[in-house]
Amino acid sequence: MSCPHTSGFSARLRLACVKFRTFIASRVFIPFAATLVLSAIWLAAPFPAYSIQSEEASSVAAIGSDTTDVPERTEAGEALSPGSDTLAAPERPQAREAPTVKRDTIYVPDLVEPENEWHYEGGISLGEGPDIEVRFGRSVRSFDLLDDGEGAEFSTGGSASYDRVDGFALFFHQEFSHSEKLYPRVQLFEGYGFGRENWQYRADFEQPLFSQESFSFGASLYLFTDTYDMEVMGTLENTLSSLFFKRDCRDYLEREGGSVFARQKVGGLHTATVEYAEETHRSLGSIAKGLFFRHSRDFRENPPVDEGKWAITTVAYEFDSRDEEGLSHAQYWHRVKFESGRNKDVADSDYDMLAADLRAYLTLSPGQRLRTRLQYGATPAGTLPFQKEFGVGGIGTLGAHSFKKYRGDHMLLLNVEYVINVVKRFQLIIFTDVGKAWFGRDALKDQRMELDVGLGIGREEGLRLCVARTPRDEAGGLSWILRLNHPF
């Protein structure tokens, strides 16, 4: 008589072999193998000989997190360039000043794409592009091209992600820019989603004028799976949550189209952007089944969007006083955006939307910090399309409530964190969340804001375990929250 456990294992092994043979014979295997070969060539092939000097750097290939834990952080929680233990920069005929290092970009739903963000690791430049690259990953290989003492940077890399609409997806990106001459900045992204068997791409072009940090204009062409919930949870966290627990904390749509923009920077603190886009929005269904644990549980359905060809005009202003050295005890990041759009396929579909995100990072003492975020959204005219509606509830907003429990064309949310250094790099976190979303321009006075309170312990890099509850609901239980990154 055979052992029942052994028999069960043999059955699962045979089933796995059958699935593997089916995968080899399917249409998905060919692009999968081609993508792996391309990845190997990209990472192993030597750089072309036209550069006077080439440098290689291996960085952690993060799976597209919006707050990837690559740089160290100051006492104020800001990103820093790596220390002296990183690769030493080669001597150059002319010294170049590294671009200002900013804290990891946090994508804000319904706001314009974040600025390019750079940090330096010795003489190796590592770059992060707009929101599509935040989703797709960071550079894993980069080069400095030296041209008579003036450097051009070219970086290439790849990453992977997993979600309930694309399943597994692999992506590559290439980026070219020049730190001295006014050459155009070009970013290219290519990827393949194995769940939907679809190719994705994005090409971004930006031409600076007068100087690197003043006026610029550019254009983009794209077809990719996008989400307006990047702020809620980064791709790395969401990939792990989807793989192991079948909890995908974002909603998705497909965007195809193009845009043109003009951007003006002033004093290194202020940025104003005007953008016009024409793009087609398509709904995506939930097709992924998950791999580990909870096989009897299905993913939450991905909601449909208001499809059609949308013409969207955006005017945005951003203020960023954060510094990598943490010299200031009060640092701020603010963004305000006005958006006006209409569906060319539907009559009377015009809408106007206002969104604001105001954040403050205050150092009260060497061991105490206060972080605050105030978000406000409104619809002065028209009806928001479903994909643009504000959602409050769940991780990243009201932690003790279900995901997007409250939706509407207006929203108000306040998050406050009080952080105390306890021992070494561990911190005690006390937080409270207040807010809600609702429909109606004159309904604010009738709203009762929801309240969450919580306590947690974490590390400076962002890893934290917290527990939250709603004090107004006596029958409500505790909500445990495990995060890899800071919520804001």
Specify the pTM.
Answer: 0.70
User: Nearest to residue 378, comparing CAs of 408, 348, 350, 404?
Assistant: 408
Residue 121 scores a pLDDT above 70: no
Residue 162 scores a pLDDT above 60: yes
Q: Which residues, listed in sequence order, are joined to residue 72 by a DSSP beta bridge?
A: 80
Q: Does residue 96 contact residue 120 with C-beta atoms inside 8 Å?
A: no
Residue 261 scores a pLDDT above 90: yes
Question: In this predicted structure, what is the pLDDT of residue 13?
Answer: 65
Question: In this predicted structure, what is the pLDDT of residue 17?
Answer: 63
* Top mean-pLDDT range of 232-241, 320-329, 371-380: 371-380
Question: In this predicted structure, what is the pLDDT of residue 9?
Answer: 55
Work out the average pLDDT over 405-417. 96
Concatenating the DSSP letter of every residue in 78-104 gives -EE---TTSPPPPP-SS--PPPPP-PP
* Top mean-pLDDT range of 3-7, 345-349, 461-465: 345-349
In CATH terms, 46-90+97-388 corresponds, of 3.90.245, 1.20.120, 1.10.10, 2.40.160, to 2.40.160
Concatenating the DSSP letter of every residue in 173-232 gives EEEEEESSS-PPEEEEEEEEETTTTEEEEEEEEEEEESSTTSEEEEEEEEEEEE-S-TTT
User: Nearest to residue 292, comparing CAs of 245, 325, 328?
Assistant: 245
Question: In this predicted structure, what is the pLDDT of residue 245?
Answer: 83
Residue 421: both structure tokens together: 């250094």
Phi–psi pair at 237, nearest 5 degrees: -60, -45
Give Cα 291 to chain centroid, integer Å.
23
Question: In this predicted structure, what is the pLDDT of residue 354?
Answer: 97
Whole-angstrom distance between the N-terminal and C-terminal Cα of the chain? 59
Residue 386 scores a pLDDT above 60: yes
Question: In this predicted structure, what is the pLDDT of residue 66?
Answer: 39
Q: Which residue has the tokens 């096989």?
A: 295
Helix (H, G, I), strand (E, B) or coil at 275: strand
* Planar angle of CA 209, 212, 213, nearest 5 degrees: 100
Q: Does residue 68 contact residue 103 with C-beta atoms inside 8 Å?
A: no
Reported as a single tens digit per residue, the pLDDT across 300-349 is: 899 999 999 999 999 999 999 988 766 678 999 999 999 999 999 999 99
- How many Å apart are CA 133 and CA 147, to the nearest integer? 27
Name the percent of the chain lying above pLDDT 70.
66
All residues at 6 or more sequence positions from 9 whose CB lies less than 8 Å from its CB, including other chains: none
Residue 21 C-beta-side C-alpha neighbours within 13 Å: 6
Question: In this predicted structure, what is the pLDDT of residue 152?
Answer: 78
Helix (H, G, I), strand (E, B) or coil at 4: helix
* Residue type at 116 in one-letter notation: N
CB atoms within 10 A of CB 330: 11
Pick the more confident residue, 94 or 478. 478
